[in-house]
Amino acid sequence: MKQLVSYKTQRLLLIMEALTYSKSIYISEIQNINQCSRTTIYDDIDFLINEWGSYLELTTDKTQLSMRNYAMCDLIDFKTDLLQSEFSINLLIHIFLNPYCTLYDLVDSLQYSESYIRKQISEINMYLTVYNSQIFYDPKTRKYALITYNSFTFCFLIAEILILMDMPDVLPKIEIFIDAKFWNQFNEADIFLSAHSTEILQCALNVCNLRINQKFYSMERLSHDYQTAKEMLILSNFLDETREYFDAHITKFLKENGFILSKLKLKELLDLYTIIVIKAYLFPEKIDRFSNRFDLFYQKFKRNNPYFAGIFEQYLDNFQIKFKINVREYAGEIMFELYSHVHDLRKYPILKIGIYSDLGINHNQSLLLGIRKHFTVQNLQIYNPYDHYDIVVTTSTAHVSQFHNFDELITVSDLLGQYDFMEIYNAIYRKIDLVAP
C-alpha cells in the first residue's frame, strides 16, 4: 500500500492519539512511539502548540507534553485536519512550482498512477473555484499549469497553501515564480489601477503578512505611484476602523462583564479579527477548511448560551450595516478565537437560580420557561424558601427578602423584556466574578 501521508503527519497523529488517553506524555515515551530524535520531537511539539496549543492548553517543560483542556478535544478532529488532502496539496505545490509539467512528469515525480493524479486534480479544481483559479490542462501540449482569473485572490491561495504545508521556506521560490511567470502576463494599468482592485490586493497581502509574517512584496514595490499609495492608505484606515469597532463593542462588552484580557491577548485577538474581516471581504461565501469545526463549536456555544450569542450576533449585524461586509458567515470562527483567548469563557460555572412570582404557580412556570430559553446552562428552579440560591429572580421582593437565602436578588417585570434579561445576565457574571489569570 502506498504511503499517503508524510512522516511528520504520522508522528503528530501518534502523539495526539497518546495524549487523548492520558493527560501528559513524557518525551521519552514519544521517542519510543515515533522512533525519532529529540530534536525532531521538540519540533513536532512546537508545531502542535502553535496549531492547537491555545485551544487545548498544550504545555511542555521539555520533559513532557501536557494537555489540560479536554473539553475542546471533541471540537478538533486531528486526523481530518492533518490528513486533509495532504497529497492534493503536495500535488498543487508541485504544479505551482513546476508550471507546464506533463502528466508523465507528475507520475514520475510523485510516484502515483495517472488515474489517481487526474482524480486528485479534479478535486483540487473544485477547491480552487472559490479562488478564481484552476489547474488547466492543454490537450495540445499535454501540459498542466496553475492559472488564475483573479490575481488578488491568488495571493490568498498562496498563503493558504504555505500554511497548510508549514512551508515558509518555499516563499523565495514563489516570489521568483510570481515575478517571472505570473505578474508579467497581466496589463499593469488594467489590473492594479482598476476600480477597487488595489484594496483587494492589499487585503490579500495583509492576510499573507498576518498569517505567515513574511511579505511577498514590499509596500515600496507596490506603491509605484501616488494614486496606489493613496488607495492603500485609505484601506489601511478602513481596517483600523473595523479593528476599533471590535475593540469598542465585543471586547468592551467582555470587560464590562468581568472577563479581562491582557494587552497581548487583546492584540492577538484584534489581529485575528482583522484577518477574518479581510477573509469576509475577499470571500463572502465561507471557504475555510476548518469551517465544520467552527460551525460545530458555535452550534454548541449558541445552544448553551443563546442570550450571549444573540448579543454577539447583533454586534456582527451592526458591523455589516456600518462597513458593508458580512462577517456573520464567520461568527463561529470569531467566537472560536474569542473562546480560545478568553480562558474564563470556558468555565461556565452553573449557578443555582430561584424563580419566584407573586402572581401564582402558573406565572412561576411561565417565568422559568422564558428565562430558560436564554440561560440554558444555568440551574433554574421554582423558588423554595428552605433552599439557598446564588441568585433569586422575582417579580416582587416582599415575600422573598424575608428569608435571606440568596446571594443576590433581582427584580424583573411580569412580562419579561430585553432589560430584564440584561439584568439577569449581568447578575450571573457579577456572581461568577471571574478574573483572567
CATH number for the domain that contains residue 8: 1.10.10.10
Quick one: 331 and 240 in the same domain? yes
Query: What pLDDT does residue 229 have?
Result: 45
Does residue 54 form part of some domain? yes
In this structure, the dihedral spanned by the alpha carbons of residues 277, 162, 209 and 176, taken in order and rounded to 10 degrees, is -130
Among candidate residues 367, 341, 345, the one with its CA nearest the CA of residue 354 = 367
Quick one: 226 and 185 in the same domain? no
- Mind listing the pLDDT tens digit for each residue in 47-77? 888 777 777 788 898 889 988 776 666 556 6
Burial-class residue 140 by CB neighbours within 10 Å (0-12, 13-18, 19+): exposed
Task: Assign 409 to helix, strand or coil.
Answer: strand
- CA pair distance 255, 249, nearest whole angstrom: 10
Quick one: 200 and 232 in the same domain? no
Quick one: 261 and 195 in the same domain? no
Does residue 80 form part of some domain? no
Query: What pLDDT does residue 393 have?
Result: 92
Terminal-residue alpha carbon distance, the chain: 50
Quick one: 256 and 307 in the same domain? yes
Question: Which of 341, 374, 391 is the last residue in one of the domains?
Answer: 341
Assess contact for 302 and 375: CB atoms under 8 A: no
C-alpha torsion sign, points 248, 253, 258, 261: negative
Burial-class residue 335 by CB neighbours within 10 Å (0-12, 13-18, 19+): buried
Cα 282–chain centre separation: 16
Quick one: 426 and 366 in the same domain? yes
Assess contact for 411 and 425: CB atoms under 8 A: no
- At residue 106's C-alpha, the angle toward residues 100 and 107, to 5°, is 150
Whole-angstrom CA distances from 14 to 11, 20, 179 are 5, 10, 41
- CA pair distance 430, 396, nearest whole angstrom: 21
Does residue 153 form part of some domain? yes
Mean pLDDT of 85-91: 69
Q: Structurally, how many domains does the chain consist of? A: 4
In this structure, the dihedral spanned by the alpha carbons of residues 367, 368, 374 and 375, taken in order and rounded to 10 degrees, is 140
Query: What pLDDT does residue 70 have?
Result: 66
Which of the listed ranges 32-46, 215-229, 251-265, 291-305 does the model predict with the highest average pLDDT? 32-46
Mean pLDDT of 99-128: 82
Does residue 79 form part of some domain? no
Assess contact for 235 and 184: CB atoms under 8 A: no
Mean pLDDT, the chain, integer = 70
Does residue 228 form part of some domain? yes
- CA pair distance 175, 324, nearest whole angstrom: 33
Quick one: 228 and 197 in the same domain? no
Task: Count Cβ atoms below 10 Å from residue 234 Cβ, excluding itself.
Answer: 12
Mean pLDDT of 332-349: 71
- CA pair distance 371, 357, nearest whole angstrom: 13
Determine the structural domain holding residue 427 and report its residue range.
352-434
Question: Which of 187, 214, 241 is the last residue in one of the domains?
Answer: 214
Query: What percent of the chain stands above pLDDT 70?
Result: 60
β-bridge mates for residue 317, sequence order:
none
Which of the listed ranges 42-56, 180-194, 236-250, 407-421 does the model predict with the highest average pLDDT? 407-421
Hey, which bits of 99-254 come out as E strands?
A: 101-102, 133-138, 143-148
Grid coordinates given for 190? 488594467
Does residue 188 form part of some domain? yes
Among candidate residues 131, 423, 415, the one with its CA nearest the CA of residue 257 = 423
Task: Count Cβ atoms below 10 Å from residue 262 Cβ, excluding itself.
Answer: 11
- CA pair distance 203, 281, nearest whole angstrom: 8
- Mind listing the pLDDT tens digit for each residue in 166-213? 544 444 444 444 433 333 333 333 333 233 334 444 444 444 444 434
Does residue 360 form part of some domain? yes
Quick one: 280 and 180 in the same domain? no
Cell 505567515, located at residue: 212
Question: Which of 214, 231, 255 is the last residue in one of the domains?
Answer: 214
Per-residue pLDDT for 252 more than 50?
A: yes
Burial-class residue 389 by CB neighbours within 10 Å (0-12, 13-18, 19+): buried
Quick one: 357 and 327 in the same domain? no
Quick one: 56 and 112 in the same domain? no
β-bridge mates for residue 352, sequence order:
379
- CA pair distance 405, 400, nearest whole angstrom: 8
Quick one: 93 and 173 in the same domain? yes
Query: What pLDDT does residue 355 have?
Result: 92
Quick one: 366 and 335 in the same domain? no
Per-residue pLDDT for 432 more than 50?
A: yes
Query: What percent of the chain stands above pLDDT 90?
Result: 1
Does residue 82 form part of some domain? no
